[in-house]
Amino acid sequence: MTTLVLITLTDPGEGLTEAEIIDIKVSVGDRISINDPVIEVETAKSAVELPSHVGGTVTRVLVAVGDEVPVGTPLIEVDTDGGPAPAGSAADAPAADAPASAPAPDGPSAAASASPAEPAPAAPAEEEPKNLVGYGSTEAPPRRRRRVQPAADTQVPIDRILAKPPVRKLARDLGIALADVFATGPDGTVTREDVLAAQQRAIGGDTVSVHDGDYFPDESPQAPETLPGTMKSSLSQPFAGYTSDDRTTRVPIRSVRKRTAEAMVSSAFTAPHVTVFNEVDMTATMDLVGRLRASREWADVKISPLVVVAKALLVAIRRNPEVNASWDEASQEIVYKHFVNLGIAAATPRGLIVPNIKDAHLLTLRELAIGINDLAKTARAGRTPLSATREGTITITNFGVFGIDSGTPILNPGESVILGMGAVKEKPRVIDGQIVPRQVAQLAASFDHRLIDGALGAELLRDVSAVLEQPDLGLVWG
């Protein structure tokens, strides 16, 4: 007897409620084994491959690339008896365990609207339905975000994405979702050039920028060709769900962008922000970075000014521990933290994410450098786990990598301080009555005024600045 099992969207990590389908790795008729990856989804912060919990033959694909589905949604139907895909069981066939009244879907996307009557696979009447992770849900059909068909003269995206393993790895390393890549290879295969073109579209002509102080744009974005009196988006080719005309371009709000917007609105209208600024002489810090880069002991570790700024902030927090706190509205308490989970803001093609280094206050300068570099690599690859974005206490954002001098950063929700670092530039300074060239940067510290008074916020920024101007103070104060 044929036994059909549904693989559903389970929570791949810590409270996921929904995800977007960005790659389907199997098709009808494929043989799969337990733990084979079948679907890749984009969660609030990263891309995650979902493995199969059963082995057998794929009989139906119930979702399409670009769909946004809640946890519990059926994704793949598998015949666990191991035989070939039964006739008529392709994506345009009704589910074997669907209610008789359910309309037969007409394709992979439409098939997703069919909701099984029972979460368990078909079984003899005398057997109790199995209760395994990944079985179907009895809830109402999920809301779908459907792909809009592009104009006839554009390349048409494909729901079953074909790409060789090196191309898939390149896409992961660059943080590019294959759903956003328009294939030009034979039979709709995604090529290396297609992925690189998608990267250019995603960031307007720059390379991936991660706020670790060492990833800079290779060149300035090229202005797109436009007709007189018109302005064109830098999105030269459409993304999934894209619509465009001569006047506007519309792109669906994707998972990371949506979460970022929700978090920033919540923070801006919950915590009363105050920002203080200071111009810092970074000459001694830049000399230290240069010496470390030239030393054999640091040959295997990437050291940047941001690492020293992070260490200076940790030293300043040790001197002003009251800044490391959060406001608990529900219990009407101020929670003082005896640890520092240091967030590092990272700009990726998927949007802004803020992974944090756990217990950063316990790390040496070298360990801190390794931690920041690891966060950057993981963010670039789009593999930041949700756990790395939780329980942050204080964050650093480096807008200096874009050549920007200063800004007013917004707090990460639940955190008390965010330190912004501007570009390090050579400027004239007066020292002992003489005008001399120095390496100078602007620091901006935003803080929650419910928790931190102006004097305390100023003292924190003053101490950070003092360590950067005289790094040996870190030995005395740390």
How far is Cα 268 from Cα 263, in angstroms, rounded to an integer? 9
333-349 exposure pattern, b = at least 16 Cβ within 10 A, e = fewer: eeeebeebbbbbbbbbb
Handedness of CA 384, 386, 392, 398 (dihedral sign): positive
For residue 241, CA distances in Å to 68, 161, 263, 445 come to: 11, 16, 24, 38
Contact 477, 467 (CB under 8 A): yes
Is residue 197 a contact partner of residue 289, using CB atoms and an 8 Å limit? Answer: no
Contact 352, 260 (CB under 8 A): yes
Catalytic-role residue among 211, 273, 361, 449: 449
**What is the DSSP annotation of 277-299?**
EEEEE-HHHHHHHHHHHHSGGGT
3-state secondary structure of 252: coil
Place of tokens 């990267």: 199
Residue 400 · residue 422 · CB < 8 Å:
yes
Determine whether 449 is an active site residue.
Answer: yes
Give φ, ψ of 85 to 5 degrees: -60, 125
Name, in order, each residue with C-beta under 8 angstroms of 348's C-beta and a sequence gap of 6 or more: 175, 208, 210, 256, 379, 380, 382
Distance CA 334, CA 324 (A): 10
Show the tokens assigned to 312.
Answer: 């200076």
- Output the six-digit token pair for 376: 């950057």
How far apart (Å, rounded) are the C-alpha atoms in residues 255 and 238?
A: 17
CB 151 within 8 A of CB 131: no
Catalytic residues: 449
